[in-house]
Structure 1
Amino acid sequence: MHRLMLMRFIIDVDNCENVISEVAVQKLKLTTEPHPASYSLAWLKQGNEICVTSHVFVTFSISSAYRNSVWCDVVPMDACHLLLGRPWQFDRDVCHEGRRNVYTFTFSGKKIVLLPSEDAQCMSSVGDSSNLLSRSLFVREMLAEGVVLLLVGTEVTGVSTVPITSEEADLHPKVATSISEFQDVFPANLPQGLPLLRDIQHQIDLVPRASLPNRPHYRMSSAEHEELRRQVEELVQKGYIKESLSPCAVPALLVPKKDGSYRMCVDSRVINKIIVR
């Protein structure tokens, strides 16, 4: 019976042997053989040498285009399951492009190109922090492990005690939830009056000896003029604005909103040209 396993592999141009991890050998239940020439490795675990005493004949495939069998030395390592060193690269006449980190070789008359990190490429379109798998990778992982744990998220109703208004219903669900949670931060009407005076007061300075603009007001209908007067009086009553002492004047205009009401705007384009940046 053939056993399948989704393996992580590394191609190392500096390694003189093909290496497979003990974990992969145990999962695949491969039959090892005594190594014809035992030797020691020190790079796998700093400070301790590992004695290689066995090797195994491993058959592996990369997608459906390439399938090969190689002899690999069995060692305890967790960096990957399979490490393909110079023997495999010599047999396949592999060409490494350092700038693109791509390995190219010919197999059965076909050109095989190995791109870096297949899993990372499959997830690159959904973000670096994503834990999503493509369908093919999921199937391979399921065949290798044999067990799949499924976590299903369901919407919980009746948790929020604050009703959502019609305006909030048009917002993104996360935004509407935040507004409902912090109702005191988003009151329907602002408190009257301006905040208390602070230690530092700011002002807008004009360029010295600049010509002060005095623009005429925009033409508007009697209804628009009445609406502008109403909004100004309301703002004065609430303490949001006060009579201007500026020697220059800038016009105000009304812009219609979607609900039919008007938003008052101040045309400060001319005065902005002579302020100190």
Structure 2
Amino acid sequence: MTLPNFIIIGVQKAATTSIYDYLKQHPQIYMSPVKETSFLEKNWDVEAIAPDIKYKKVLTLESFEDQFRDVTTETAIGTTSPNCHFLYETAADRILKYTPNAKLILILRNPIDRAYSDHLMHIRDAIDDKTLDDRLNSPSSFIIRKGFYAEQLQHYRDRFPSEQIKVFLHDDLRKNTIEFMQELYRFLEVDPNFIPDTTKKAQVSQVPKSKKLNRVLRNSETIAAPILPILKRLFPFKLREGLRSLKSKLLALNTENKKPQLSEEHRQRLRDLYREDILKLQALIERDLSHWLS
């Protein structure tokens, strides 16, 4: 049974998709075909899984093992599960149970920018219609809570050897992507001189012009799910592909050209909210994070 020997445990909206692509390019690294495998996050056997067809992730041990069946000569075997950091109380125990020796990689982004990017993603993907004020006024908002890094990181450090955990900053990725990746390659003990193609960027934050149209387009497959077998019999494959292409074009036409900027009022509220945690975090990782508060 082959399981990963390294895991990107977080965080969401910190370029984990791009990093996954850069890791896949390295000849000594094998990445799970499914980018985000959620198996290690919590015990799905006792969780109620939403019947949303978009939620098809790797949730069972069998499907998790299946992700690594094609490993051949690669020495670094990995997966990304960016909610492991947020769901640290359950995820740490599951990692200890199934992959206790795996190297844990954490990419941290300024929590203010991370929260806003996550908020925009929820709008883009028609997950909900909440405003940023709604999220800031809700103590239970996952988008806001995911930015409290210090307690989450300390939980992992209390359970894993320090040399098994490596914290990277999203700031460094933006400054010099190649240097960032080569440091990551060194941590994984593969050839650090490999240079990945970093020209393609993933997960660009965008918002729709019409939220109503966006919701209809984004949820069209979910709405059609009960009659999907009938539609497949009635409509040939080429026609279905044409409809998918039309959907993509309509989504593009309904997208604003520019990403809306975070207002200074909201930035200050988020800054005040995260200030204490940022100060704790910079002491934990021994990096100056004052620019996150400026």
TM-score by length of 1: 0.22
Give the structure with the higher percent strand: 1
TM-score by length of 2: 0.21
Which structure has the larger Rg over C-alpha atoms?
1
Bigger relative CO (Cα 8 Å, ≥ 6 apart):
2
Give the structure with the higher percent helix: 2
